[in-house]
Structure 1
Amino acid sequence: MAALALMDFVLVAFVLVLFAGSRWIPGRSVPAAATEDLAAAGDTDTETEPPRAYRLNGAWLFALTAGAAAGFWIWSPRVLVWPDRHWGELLLVANAFAFALAWLLFRTGRRRTPAASGPSGRRRGLSDYFYGVERNPVWAGVDLKFFSYRPSLIGLFVFNVSAAAVQYTGQGSLSGRMLLYQIFFFVYLANYFQFEGGMVHTWDLIAERFGWMLVWGDYVLVPFFYGISGRTLIHVREPLPLWLGAVCCALFVFGFWLFRGANDQKHRFKTGGAVTIWGRPAETLGGRLLVSGFWGIGRKLNYTGELLVYLSWTLLCGTGSVVPYLLPAFLLLMFVHRAHRDDRRCRVKYGRLWEEYCRRARFRMFPFVY
């Protein structure tokens, strides 16, 4: 019990420190998505909702965490072993934290917006708890849904560094596989916080309500499941073949270019209107749908790129265990489901314009396949 109490304290302290940093560290503010985007998402209360803005200071929080990790690595790498050694206990308390936070959001949401909960009853109550009542609950001036990406991804970074520390303290050095994995993941996470403002235009932030589904995903699924390759690599002793390293590097670079490039093109189009893509003025359909660059080739190539990024570091684990390959398999299923879900929404939102776009961009994620 004492050990779990310590884990509770560590996890809550970690989240509270990041919350305080999100509240008080200066950062550029960006406005929330336009009202028309919210209405297209099915929100009926956009006229009464006050204007919102997001403070982009996640890069500072990530940099401070990375700096602290570097300091501990120089001073005593054994300190960084602690998160991995207590992974199971932290997983348990993270689940308890996620369920409790979802319940608190459910109760406060019902009190603030009783009309949104509709008729009472067990089925409706379970639905509100699972999906959430409020779309953007704000505590102490911090949007909780936007904030929760920070403990999620920074927590994942901490677990990755801890896995490296376990291998380093146990074997005296980092394997080529682990080193490459750490580089890939650091670039991926740092890039997220560098372009944190792009999250404002994602479907999760615009439309999804903040309930157990997103809370559990942020505080449990991402930090504990997404770093499974790093924990696997602790015990992989086979040297990294040159050909495999080259394949993984090529997959990462190409996937990252596809993932970040597609998202950047859409973000610039949404925020800047007329932009230049691949050296030419952006082409659109009705001024609403981008058909230049990646978006003229496939409708969800950003999903394809992100999947390739995750596959690049999973392949570093070799074939000794199937466990690390569960993550790209899970992401493949999730992205396919999201692509179908997005397609249904866009058909309702854009009508015939979407049919024309589908004829222009024939593929969803994999050219000539899907």
Structure 2
Amino acid sequence: MAGQKAEAKKSTNANNVPLFSSKVTDLDVKLDNEIVYEFGGPLGVVGMMLGFPSLMYYFWICLEHHQGKLIVPAVWSVEGIKSFFWNDIWAAIVEGARPTVYAAKIYMGYILFSFILASIMPGPVVNGLPIPSLKGKKLPYLCNGLAAWYFTLPFSAFLHVTGIFRLTDIIDNFGHIMTIAIMWGFTLTTLIFIASHIQGTNHRMSGNLVYDFFMGASLNPRVGVVDLKMWAEIRVPWPILFYISVSCALKQYETRGYITAPAAFMVLAHFLYVNACQKGEECIPTSWDMFYEKDGFMLVFWNMAGVPFTYCYASIYLMKFEETTGVAITHSLPYTVGLFVALLSAYYIFDTGNSQKNRFRMEQNGSFIARNAFPQLPYGHIKNPSYIKTAHGNLLLTDGWWGVVRKPHYTADLVMALSWGLITGFGSFLPYFYVCFFLVVLTHRVSRDMERCAKKYGKDWDRYCERVPYIFIPYVF
């Protein structure tokens, strides 16, 4: 261990230039071009592209009209199912979720506003990892998310207070806005896919049109200085999610004259999440999504529509329950305090865990910068960490939270997600949809990551797994 720590001191010099080789190897190129059908292949992705929007509408109807209860046909017959679809589902969509001009102004107005800020706000430029398909070139990323975020907050407050745009209009038009977001998710995916073919930037194509549309054609689509993949992942979903919770809380304030602890909990939870994304944006260029994932329906739709309009169910359930019953959901003081403690504790591990790993990567990449963005938590940067050096040349971190389990940030993320459900009580499954869905997503993501690392690092990966044997929970899994 001591030898490994001494070795880590030599990973960069005083000018923050990596001393370990960052050249792209033949194995990197092979893995980067390897085509493996995932998600059930073409049939599976068709089901997901049709199923995601359908599920979003179904859950919205359950929340909007049935207090979070999962509804089913009253009679399981052809006529019963037909009546259920036309009278309960389609009629509700036409009434409360059809696309409207005002909803388009709200959603697309924010999309344009966010893109403009991403283009003009000041921020550091950070290089990503060497891209095998670009012969090891490192792409620059303008990381101005923090400046954009702290401009957006007071600007939105100004709009609300002056009445130019009341933030409560978000939840009042939720269904309509969701439909616009769904339409935009398909539209942007199509535009990026077509542009990739025109520009000749297709990468890792399977040859199946539907599957490639889902997974994406382009690895690094850009408009000017804006990397569309990073913008869509950081600047769009999480701020919208936060403002949905803010809208719900403000709606409660207008009705009751105060905001209950569960509603405040959700605003805090979503603020912490979006703030973490913005203040640590410089860490994103070295992440898996930027380095490997293509910008297809999987990423575009989920960031533009899926994340903000499904991860918000806890906030909406709290509001709809109160609207329907006239009684706000509250809990005992110990239960409420316990959930706040769980949320903040998990957030601490989530924030510092992501920071430890990404700053370690940045040091090896020569792109490390010190920032004082709020809040800078202790233990977020490990000096002289222990690691395993692989024959490939990469370093596998075995220090900090990453010496306890292989995916500490995922564990913390899941705890936060669970707390979002628990603060609503146990009256509906929908506030727990996020944590259930997220568990499936992260488990699948981990399996992909483990398989790829095993191919890439061979025996060194076996050594790493011996050193850090547990994935999520020490001595359990």
* Mean Cα deviation higher: 76-85 or 338-347: 76-85
Post-superposition offset of 1:69: 3.2
Is contact 1:78–1:165 with CA below 8 Å preserved after alignment?
Answer: no
Structure 2 residue aligned with 1:155: 240
SS at match of 1:289: strand
Q: CA deviation at 1:77?
A: 11
Per the TM alignment, residue 114 of structure 1 is displaced from its structure 2 partner at its CA by 6.8
What is the letter of the counterpart of residue 384 of structure 2?
P
- Match for residue 31 of structure 1 among 122, 127, 147: 127
List aligned pairs for 1:239-318, cutoff 5 A: 239-273=330-364, 281-286=384-389, 288-318=395-425
Structure whose CA Rg is larger: 2
Give how far 1:252 is off.
1.1
1:177-213, CA deviations, whole angstroms, 9 ceiling, x for partnerless residues? 1112212321222122111111112111111000111
Q: Give the conservation status (yes or no) of the 8 Å contact 2:353–2:402.
A: yes
Q: Which residue matches 1:93?
A: 180
Distance 1:98 1:115, change over 3 A: closer
Separation (CA, whole Å) in 1 of partners of 2:380 and 2:144: 28
Task: Indicate whether 1:355 and 2:462 are aligned.
Answer: yes
Task: Provide the secondary structure at the position in 2 that maps to 1:281.
Answer: coil
- Verify: 1:203 aligned to 2:288, yes or no: yes
Choose the corresponding residue for 1:144, options 198, 208, 228.
228
Q: Secondary structure at the match of 2:423?
A: helix
Task: For residue 51 of structure 1, report the CA deviation from its aligned partner.
Answer: 4.3
Aligned position for 1:62: 149
Structure 1 pair 286/156, CA: closer, same or farther in 2 (3 Å)? Answer: same
Structure 2 residue 209 is the aligned partner of structure 1 residue 125: yes
Is residue 2:276 matched to residue 1:185? Answer: no
Is residue 2:451 matched to residue 1:344? Answer: yes
State the AA in 1 paired with 2:277: Y
CA distance in 1 between partners of 2:344 and 2:111 (Å): 32
* 1:220 Cα deviation after fit: 0.6
Bigger drift between 75-84 and 229-238 goes to 75-84
Bigger CA drift: 1-10 or 228-237? 1-10
1:296-331 CA-partner distances (Å, limit 9, x unpaired): 111111100111112223211111211101111111
| C-alpha contact 1:156 1:224 (8 A) present in aligned 2 | yes
**Deviation for aligned residue 1:118:** 5.5
Give me the whole-angstrom Cα distance separating, in 1, the residues matched to 2:152 and 2:380: 35
Alignment gaps of 5+ in structure 2: 1-93, 323-327, 369-378
1:227: which partner in 2? 312
Summarize the Cα distance change of 1:118–1:265 in structure 2 as closer, same or farther, 3 Å threshold.
Answer: closer
The aligned counterpart of 1:42 is none
Q: 1:79 is paired with a residue of what secondary structure?
A: coil
The alignment of Structure 1 onto Structure 2 pairs a total of residues equal to 358
Q: CA deviation at 1:7?
A: 2.0
Counterpart contact for 1:110–1:117, Cα < 8 Å: no
Distance of aligned partners of 1:291 and 1:98 in 2 relative to their CA distance in 1, 3 Å threshold: same
Letter of the 1:262 partner, please give it: G
Identical positions, percent: 26
Return the offset for 1:78: 8.6
Shift of 1:131: 0.8
The code of the aligned residue for 2:363 comes to G
Q: Name the CA shift for 1:324/1:365 in 2 (closer, same or farther; >3 Å).
A: same
Moved more, 298-307 or 105-114: 105-114
What 5-or-longer segments of structure 1 have no aligned partner? 40-44
Quote the RMSD (CA, aligned, Å).
2.5
